[in-house]
Amino acid sequence: MKMEVLIEDGSKVNYGDIVFYVTGASQSILKAERLVLNAMQRMSAIATKTKQFVDLLEGTGAKILDTRKTTPGIRALEKWAVKIGGGENHRFALYDMIMLKDNHIDFAGGITKAIEKTKQYLKETNRDLKIIVEARDLNEIKEILKSEGVYRILIDNFNYEDTRKAVALIGNQCLTESSEVSTNKP
């Protein structure tokens, strides 16, 4: 099959626009048609939604990051769609960065111990990975800030008021990440 692309990735598309022409054996075109259309629709939706969020945040300094929680087998395509929409790729897999989540912290015996054990592991294995630590409340953020070497704090399930407090508390000491802002948390 041969493809003539008329509209490049990331371009605005209007109803009725022709994106590309395909020529080749009819059997080959029919076999690929549904897969290509489904992929285009899904990736276009991801890119479009990402662009809407990026536009909403314009001028704030905030960035839209994607997640590892993607559709099995097409993570690379979905992350590509986020980039096309103006977002940024976060971690591709568990090997990119270390994220200390609540269960890791609890298992290690607390935030400080979890961070210390992680740094020791990185030193022993001669790895250079960034550390992200999840915080469940403002007190945990205060404890995280006492440790050096934390790249980013994940403000997880905070309400808007506590998110603002957390961002102010963290300031420029490290990057912040907020996920799933909850309006139900007291």
Cα first-last separation, the chain: 58
CA 133 → CA 3, 71, 122, distances in Å?
46, 25, 15
Nearest-angstrom CA–CA distance, 144 and 139: 9
Instruction: Name residue 70's amino acid.
Output: T
Query: Which residue is it, tokens 């971690």?
Result: 91
DSSP-based three-state secondary structure for 175: strand
DSSP-based three-state secondary structure for 18: coil
CA dihedral sign, ordered 41, 44, 46, 52? negative
Residues annotated as part of the active site: 34, 69, 101, 134, 156
